[in-house]
Amino acid sequence: MIEKPSESTLRARILVSVVAYLPDREMLRSLVNAYAKQGAAVLVVDNSPAEDDRAWSYLEDLCATDSSIRLVRCGKNLGIAAALNLGIEATLREGFDHVLLSDQDSEPEPGMLSCLQEIHAKLSARDIRVGCVAPAYFDVTTGQTFSFQSHVPGRFFYRNVSSERASPWIEILTSITSGTLISRCALLEVGPMCEHLFIDHVDTEWCHRARKVGFKLYGTSLVHLTHHLGDNLLRVWLFGWRNCNEYSSTRLYYRLRNFVLLCKLPYISTRWKFRASFYWMLSVYGHLLFSSSRRENFWMIMRGLRDGLQGRTGPLE
């Protein structure tokens, strides 16, 4: 049994790769400090335009006084996959044991890194090929702790299993980017993130690719990551009012287009595609009926579906 730690020294070298795009400066600085305090090296990959220096202006003194904190300025938005790959390349090049991927709007619990690392080590000691270990996610926008996608005995389709059942851990199908700990071994065998997706479903595709080559993925409820999903809170009626995440019409384009692209991949199981389709139908329903941007959402959803069917990738032009 693993006890939730408060703060402890990491036994393996971890690089935290944070992707930033026009970040909230104080939130970014707090995030970098939180991970540095837990004993990790931190690499911030700034996807903001070249003329925007908000990340640098808030991290300049940290980078100058602490060599374990670095900032890479891309000068333009390369997409989250390409930005994550810069962190992955640094992990492999500089001999780190693990990379922890992070968005700019997350906040880890104290001791999260050491807890994830310890779970990874215990599972690996059982001769399990561990692809990644992820914390439970508390979404600030909806005020909900997200469930894990997991296969349940006797069920054909995956179920959304409450994170409370992931103690000390549970095998999962996919994980979101932020807070996911990946070993050097998995990176070398599975490969980098898929850059032609640009943004959205980059993490989902990598998880399915990892499982296809024999790795297992795990989630744990011993530690939580506070995260901001979506842009706003969307109230949707579905046999009762529900709190959902609202996304911009541009994000809806990427989310729908890339889901269609995932459905074309042979290494993703048909039963996952079928089950996940229900979620996306509900997302479309909510954004077309209850969002204040219904017209814009409709056209971008249709464009995303069209481009996905036609196999178009990369940034939206």
Q: How confident is the model at residue 3 (pLDDT cuts 50, 70, 90)?
A: low
Mean pLDDT of 24-43: 95
* Mean pLDDT within 36-50: 96
pLDDT at residue 312, as a whole number = 97
Place of tokens 């599975």: 190
- Residues 74-83 have pLDDT tens digits of 999 999 999 9
The confidence score (pLDDT) of residue 46 equals 96
> Quick check: 60 pLDDT over 70?
yes
In this predicted model, what pLDDT tens digit does every residue of 184-224 receive, in sequence order?
A: 999 999 999 999 999 999 999 999 999 999 999 999 999 99
Confidence of residue 229 (pLDDT cuts 50, 70, 90): confident
Q: Is the pLDDT of residue 5 over 90?
A: no
- What's the pLDDT score for residue 190? 98
Q: What are the structural domains, with CATH classification, of the chain?
A: 14-227 (3.90.550.10), 232-310 (no CATH)
Higher-pLDDT residue of 153, 3:
153
Looking at per-residue pLDDT, the higher value among 109 and 317 belongs to 109
What percentage of the chain reaches a pLDDT higher than 90?
A: 89
Q: What is the pLDDT of residues 119-168, one digit of tens each?
A: 999 999 999 999 999 999 999 999 999 999 999 888 899 999 998 888 89
Residue 10 has pLDDT above 90, yes or no: no
Q: Is the pLDDT of residue 7 over 70?
A: no
pLDDT at 181: 98
**Reported pTM:** 0.95
Position 287 pLDDT exceeds 60 = yes
pLDDT of residue 293: 96
Across 292-296, average pLDDT: 96
**Mind giving me the DSSP string for the chain?**
-PPPPSS---SS-EEEEEEESS--HHHHHHHHHHHHHTT-EEEEEE-S-TT--HHHHHHHHHHHH-TTEEEEE-SS---HHHHHHHHHHHHHHTT-SEEEEEETTEEEPTTHHHHHHHHHHHHHHTT--EEEEEEEEEETTTTEEPPEEE--TT-SS-EEE-GGG-SS-EEES---STTEEEEHHHHHHH-S--GGG-SSSHHHHHHHHHHHTT-EEEEEEEEEEEE--SSEEEEEESSSEEEEEE--HHHHHHHHHHHHHHHT-TTS-HHHHHHHHHHHHHHHHHHHHT-TTHHHHHHHHHHHHHHHHHT--SS--
CB 227 within 8 A of CB 139: yes
